[in-house]
Chains A and B, each alone.
Chain A
Amino acid sequence: MASASGEQTSAEYIQHHLTNLVCGKTPDGWTCDHNAVDQMGFLAFHVDSLGWSIFLGLVFVGLFRLGIPKLSTEAPTGIQNFVEMCIEFVNDNVQSIFTSAKNNLIGPMALTVLVWVFLMNLMDLVPVDYLPTLAGQVAEATGMVEDSKDSYFKVVPTTDPNITLGMALAVFVLIIFYSIKIKGLKGFLAELTLHPFGKWMMPVNLVLEGVNLIAKPISLGLRLFGNLYAGEMIFILIALMLTFSSISIGLLGVGLHLIWALFHILILALQAFIFMVLTIVYLAMAHETEDH
């Protein structure tokens, strides 16, 4: 607990881990000062979440594109095997859900979602203090903050609702885009207003279908966020056990951390997979043209 000085309470320790590094616009101009966060409006960025997110996106592209120096038709080796396995897995899923409509954007998008979200989730397995402590030391050494405990650094992008809802927003825009493209504006509006109750109950239909439509991105984003936030929270609580000056509680903490980390591997992969499948399902629904 290097960044935690002696006076830090448990609540402060937890709070510190759950606070982002924010840069935003205040009335006095752009700043990354944590004390100015309250004065920032919407125009603020979680530099840590966004930074890791983009870095991991680059890792994905690097692995899948540059990791294979020469594509081989004959006998794929190493990374190409892994990449082909991923692509085949994603393609099978897409084809089993997209039975009638064809859209060659869905496959690449599903692959990006799966691998990228998985990589972001994977950051949860890095012990909770490593990277924040490192960042704090760097910040203190370079004079960005006076005390390393004033630096905030949240590593797992998917524990930030901005990240998960940001991706859900992109999916939502695509849902609306393809709904209108496939069914036409009239068809899309008809779908929103003409059922379940027929045209005399249009306002009720609109409310019901509107909720149905809005719930898709919200649930998509919040499901991932909730799962990862809870997982991260438990890691922090377990890490907190190590701050007590008791060897037995410390050992218990190590054991619990191991068990939770092993269990969490499942959750990480599962949540990435669920995010991908739901993205495909929602977009497949947007492509459905059957009349009700």
Chain B
Amino acid sequence: MNINATLLGQTLAFVIFVAICWKYVWPPIIAIMEEREKRIADGLEAAKKADDSLEEAQLAFDQEMNKAKAEAAEILEKANSRASQIVNDATEKAEVEAEKILSSASKTIENDVNKAKEELRQKMSELIIDTSEKILGDEISPEKHQELLKKAAAEL
């Protein structure tokens, strides 16, 4: 076991290799590892952010959806009520119209009946007068005729 200058030689070699490692080996690899660590951390954070924003979007979506549903329900209700109103209106109108038509029809019928009655009376009176003339053989004056006619019509 001789101690000699080998010891100093090894010390020098040690210093040189440590210096090389310190300057050229360690920094680039540590830098890369730190960069990767940062990337992963960033990625995780981004994922978390995306998750949050997804949740937010989901919340907003739900809100919108509820609003839309409520609106739709409202519209539907409105439409329903409107429809029933229209139906009611129409029914009412139809009833009124029907009544009107009915009344006008009955009026017309009444008028027609009256008219027919009048005509009938007229014809009857004429007939009676003609017949009476023939039977009586006597000409009735037009004035008398008219008078008789009126009388007959009034009696009938």
Contact = CB atoms under 8 A, between A and B. Distances in A.
Q: Do A and B come from one complex?
A: yes
Main secondary structure of the interface of B (DSSP, over half): helix
B11 to A, nearest CB: 5
A176 B85 CA distance: 103
A45 B13 CA distance: 13
A156 interface: no
Given A40-B4, A42-B5, A83-B29, A57 B17 contact: yes
Interface of B: 1-11, 13-18, 20-22, 24-26, 28-30, 32-33, 35-36, 39
Given A88-B33, A109-B18, A53 B2 contact: no
Contact of B17 (A24, A41, A116, A160): A116
A111 B9 contact: no
| Chain A contact patch, size range | 35 or more
A109 B6 contact: no
Interface string A37-52: 0001111111001100
A24 B2 CA distance: 12
Interface stretch (A2-10, A58-66, A201-209, A241-249): A58-66
Contacts, number: 123
A162 B3 contact: yes
A44 B6 contact: yes
A77 interface: no
A105 interface: yes
Interface of A: 20, 22, 24, 40-46, 49-50, 53-54, 57, 60-61, 64-65, 68, 71-73, 80, 83-84, 87-88, 91, 104-105, 107-109, 111-112, 116, 157, 160-163, 165-167, 169-170, 173
A45 B33 contact: no
